[in-house]
Amino acid sequence: MRAFSTLLIAAALALSGKLLSKIKAIYYIDRLIYILIAHAALVKRTDDPQIQLCMDDLTDANAQLAIVKDAVDTFDRSKGYSGALNIHDEEQVLEARLKTAGTSCCAVSAVASTADADAFLDVVDTMVPLVQGALTSIVTKKPEFDAIFLATTIVKTDIKNLNNQANQLLDNCLFDVTPPSHTAIATTHVAAIKSAFATAKTAYGIP
């Protein structure tokens, strides 16, 4: 009888474990759906599929900018060379996303309507403080990178590569999409991003 009771308890525990796993899976799936819906709601939709793709790619770059900043903010010399490489890996993802955004934004074949320009420049407006924040963190952490052999060299290369990708996007595509009514806003955003890169390049002795 005791053996039978033990079997019942074991079976009940196994079933409860499976049930708990299913409940956890449902919970995480539900959270993922919620996050995806919330993320989509933050990005205004446009009637032009080319502009929408450009905006979506810029939004992906914005998300990676925040990840890069967090990686830099938590870095110190105790993380060593491997810690610097981890930041470099995140920068590589950001660089790829900026390149993708440049490709999609440069593919827009017509000047945006007023409504689409509002939506498009809202995404760029979000990008400005993210770029400024990430580069400010990189400048602030320079003594930590300097303390690790070759780490500063990696950071300098990353800054130059990101600056090149940003310039291709901003100089070659942004103004082609922007209607005259929004040129002043676009110019302000571009100037702010270029200024942030200039400050970082000066701090790291990049010509």
Which residues are within 8 A (CB) of 144 and not within 5 positions of it... i.e. 6 or more apart? 75, 76, 77
Average pLDDT of the chain, as a whole number: 85
Question: So what's the pLDDT on residue 9?
Answer: 41
Residue 170 DSSP code: I
196: its two tokens:
């942030």
Question: So what's the pLDDT on residue 47?
Answer: 76
pLDDT tens digits, residue range 1-36? 544 444 444 444 444 444 434 434 443 344 434 333
pLDDT tens digits, residue range 140-199? 999 999 999 999 999 999 999 999 999 999 988 999 999 999 999 999 999 999 999 999
The CA distance from 88 to 94, in Å, is 10
Which residues are within 8 A (CB) of 88 and not within 5 positions of it... i.e. 6 or more apart? 154, 155, 158
Domain parsing of the chain, residue ranges: 1-42, 46-203
Question: So what's the pLDDT on residue 41?
Answer: 40
The CA distance from 93 to 63, in Å, is 11
Q: What is the pTM of this model?
A: 0.78
Across 11-25, 80-94, 97-111, least confident range: 11-25
pLDDT tens digits, residue range 36-63? 343 444 455 677 999 999 999 999 999 9
Q: C-alpha distances in angstroms, 114 versus 15, 52, 109, 182? A: 59, 14, 16, 8
Question: So what's the pLDDT on residue 44?
Answer: 58
Residue spans of alpha helices (H) in the chain? 2-42, 49-73, 80-106, 114-140, 142-146, 151-169, 175-177, 183-203
- pLDDT category of residue 101 using cuts at 50, 70 and 90: very high
Question: So what's the pLDDT on residue 26?
Answer: 42
Asked if 159 and 138 count as a contact pair (C-beta separation under 8 A), the reply is: yes
The alpha carbon of 3 is separated from its chain's Cα centroid by a whole number of angstroms, namely: 58
> Higher model confidence: residue 7 or residue 93?
93
Question: So what's the pLDDT on residue 14?
Answer: 46
